[in-house]
Amino acid sequence: MSRRALIAAGTACVLLAACASAPEPKTRVETVTVKEPVYVRPTPPDFLMAPLYPDGPPSQIFVAPDDPKAVLGVTRAGLKQFWQAIDTPVDRIEEWQAWATSGQTEAPDHE
């Protein structure tokens, strides 16, 4: 064998031996807590999720015009139920708006 061939063979053996004996890579696992604000959807309070009419919707607001108790097709009790049917949803909308804009979680004081 020529000297060049011996040097090439020796170099190849050294390179193959170096590649075969490379140390195994070390793996390091570390948990890092990153304090980044995350959006959390607010949960509406129970008083906003309650039914509008706990005793059921108003009934018999309007009566027949020939009813002796009728004034414009509404009795006094029916008129009270009519205003309740109007005011209750309006009050609920105002409560939702107040809660959404101020971030309150407690029920407002009802009179």
18 CB-side CA count, 13 A: 6
pLDDT, tens digit, for every residue of 6-28? 888 888 877 777 666 667 788 88
pTM beyond 0.85: no
Strand residue runs (E) in 10-71: none
User: Region 31-45: what's the mean pLDDT?
Assistant: 84
DSSP label at 52? Answer: S
**Percentage of the chain modeled with pLDDT above 70:** 84
Amino acid at 49: M
Whole-number Å distance between alpha carbons of 61 and 86: 12
Whole-number Å distance between alpha carbons of 77 and 59: 10
Residue with tokens 């170096």: 18
